[in-house]
């Protein structure tokens, strides 16, 4: 009996040993194919001089340096109808968490970047490049894991933030997008989504943020009207657990136009 138990235990140990490398390989594969991360920066600018300094930095230093590191499709936008201080929005994709965590160290060793970005990076306190930067870190949705840059032509972008009353409400809204089919409706109706992301670090959490595009405001209005009357949307939104009153406490749309240096 003891011998049989020993043999059984040996077989199980051997099987586990054989599986461990396979599990490790599968885990690495998942990491490589997992969702992107996005840094969403919002610069507050008090005048045209600051705006030019920041846009020049992106065009001449930051975007080229990130492109050399393999980061593509960096978006730079200004508000369509600004109020108060001018704001510049930057969307920076990262292929992984490690990519995000190591980028600053890599930039610090890039002499071409440091020289080209000097006026921005070394701006004096008496003439700052910006008033403040607000940053959020987002993780791409499982059903939209990679940013999809639209065709470059005249268009407007709508950045939408959905705030939630609780973390559980936020997870339920994610489920609605990913599993219940809300993303599919956006695709089918021609919203040309750029990204969908859950905010994991940033202000006004819990929230999610996504970006869709339109040729103009008239197209924007007609698309959202079609969305609201879409039979599939009505079916999903009629599910009690998915009622907006339960899941979304505030929606903030921001309309943007790409800067000349934007890759989106």
| pTM for this prediction | 0.84
> If you ran DSSP here, which 8-state letter would residue 166 be given?
S
What average pLDDT does the structure give for the chain? 89
Give the per-residue pLDDT at 196: 98
What is the location of CATH 3.30.70.100 in the chain? 34-137, 141-259
pLDDT at 15: 41
Q: Assign residue 88 a region: left if phi > 0, alpha if psi is -120 to 50, beta otherwise?
A: beta
Q: Which pair of structure tokens corresponds to residue 184?
A: 């599919």
The CATH number of the structural domain formed by 34-137 is 3.30.70.100
Whole-number pLDDT of residue 29:
37
- Count CA within 13 A, CB hemisphere, residue 167: 1
To 10 degrees, the CA torsion angle through 201, 75, 227, 232?
-60
CA distances from 202 to 29, 84, 152, 174, 229 (A): 29, 22, 29, 17, 33
**CATH 3.40.50.1820, applies to 141-259:** no
| pLDDT at position 11 | 40
SS3 40: strand
pLDDT over 80 (residue 107): yes
pLDDT at position 81:
82
Selected residue with higher pLDDT from 7 and 37: 37
What integer pLDDT is reported at residue 82 of this predicted model?
Answer: 75
Q: What digits encode the pLDDT tens for the residues 87-104?
A: 999 999 999 999 999 999
pLDDT band at 85 (very low <50, low <70, confident <90, very high): confident
DSSP 149: P
Contact 178, 143 (CB under 8 A): yes
Alpha-carbon gap, residue 263 to 256, rounded angstroms: 14
Q: What is the C-alpha separation between 62 and 68, in angstroms, rounded?
A: 10
Question: What Rg value do the Cα atoms of the chain yield, rounded?
Answer: 23
Greatest Cα pair distance in the chain = 85
Say what the pLDDT of residue 245 is. Answer: 87
- For 130-187, how does the pLDDT look when each residue is reduced to its tens digit (9 = 90+)? 999 999 999 999 999 999 999 988 899 999 999 999 999 999 999 999 999 999 999 9
In angstroms, what CA-CA distances link 229 with 30, 101, 211? 38, 43, 21
Q: Band the pLDDT of 69: cuts 50, 70, 90.
A: very high
């Amino acid at each position: 009996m003891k011998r049989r138990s020993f043999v059984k235990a040996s077989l199980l140990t051997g099987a586990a040993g054989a599986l461990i490398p396979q599990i490790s390989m599968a885990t690495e594969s998942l990491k490589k194919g997992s969702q992107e991360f996005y840094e969403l920066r919002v610069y507050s600018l008090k005048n045209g001089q600051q705006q030019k300094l920041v846009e020049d930095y992106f065009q001449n230093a930051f975007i080229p340096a990130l492109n050399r590191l393999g980061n593509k499709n960096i978006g730079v936008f200004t508000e369509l109808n600004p109020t108060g201080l001018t704001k510049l929005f930057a969307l920076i994709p990262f292929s992984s968490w490690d990519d995000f965590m190591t980028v600053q160290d890599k930039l610090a060793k890039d002499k071409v970047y440091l020289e080209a970005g000097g006026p921005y990076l070394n701006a004096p306190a008496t003439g700052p490049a910006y008033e403040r930067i607000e940053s959020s870190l987002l993780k791409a949705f499982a059903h939209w894991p990679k940013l999809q840059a639209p065709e470059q032509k005249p268009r407007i972008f709508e950045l939408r933030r959905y705030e939630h009353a609780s973390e559980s409400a936020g997870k339920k809204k994610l489920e609605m997008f990913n599993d219940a089919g809300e993303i599919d409706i956006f695709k089918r109706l021609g919203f040309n989504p750029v990204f969908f992301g859950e905010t994991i670090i940033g202000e006004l959490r819990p929230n999610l943020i996504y970006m869709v595009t339109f040729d103009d405001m008239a197209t924007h209005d007609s698309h959202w009207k079609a969305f609201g009357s879409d039979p599939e949307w009505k079916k999903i939104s009629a599910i009690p657990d998915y009622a907006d009153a339960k899941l979304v406490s505030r929606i903030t749309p921001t309309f943007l136009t790409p800067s000349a240096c934007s890759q989106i």
